[in-house]
């Protein structure tokens, strides 16, 4: 007896598997961005809340999957991230308020938040997300 429709079933299984993997991957990348930025926020320099409130995250499809990007929309964010932090904890001038650089802030705070402080939490998000 000949079984018909096997190739169609295989195509449909592949299609469903790809959809599940695609949706799951999107969700995991979103979670990674949220978790990572939660580790970035405490070490972000703050004079005002402009920088911290300008956080964004973006999820984009690429030919072989998805990519996530996080950052700040404030014009000066890249300069602050790459600053040396030599004025850390020092007070601003008499007319200004606050510190030049927050006492808890660190240079390269975005990289450190994801790669140093949040590394274990991000790895756990990935493990939990792809668990069957």
User: Is residue 1 situated within a structural domain?
Assistant: no
* SS3 of residue 89 by DSSP: coil
- 26/45 Cα distance (integer angstroms): 30
Q: Which two tokens stand for residue 113?
A: 């938040």
End-to-end CA distance of the chain: 36
User: Is residue 99 situated within a structural domain?
Assistant: yes
Count structural domains, the chain. 1
User: Is residue 44 situated within a structural domain?
Assistant: yes
In this prediction, residue 37 carries a pLDDT of: 96
Please tell me the pTM assigned to this model: 0.76
- 26/8 Cα distance (integer angstroms): 27
Q: Which residues of the chain have pLDDT under 70?
A: 47-48, 85-101, 132
In this prediction, residue 50 carries a pLDDT of: 83
User: Is residue 53 situated within a structural domain?
Assistant: yes
Q: Which domain holds residue 34?
A: 6-129
In this prediction, residue 113 carries a pLDDT of: 94
User: Is residue 58 situated within a structural domain?
Assistant: yes
């Amino acid at each position: 007896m000949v079984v018909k429709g096997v190739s169609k079933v295989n195509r449909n299984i592949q299609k469903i598997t790809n959809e599940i993997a695609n949706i799951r991957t999107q969700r995991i990348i979103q979670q990674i961005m949220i978790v990572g930025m939660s580790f970035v926020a405490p070490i972000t320099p703050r004079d005002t809340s402009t920088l911290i409130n300008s956080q964004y995250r973006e999820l984009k499809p690429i030919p072989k999957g998805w990519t996530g990007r996080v950052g700040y929309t404030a014009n000066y964010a890249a300069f602050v991230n790459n600053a040396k932090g030599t004025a850390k904890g020092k007070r601003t001038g008499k007319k200004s308020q606050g510190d030049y650089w927050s006492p808890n802030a660190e240079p390269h705070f975005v990289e450190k938040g994801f790669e140093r402080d949040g590394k274990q939490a991000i790895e756990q998000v990935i493990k939990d997300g792809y668990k069957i």
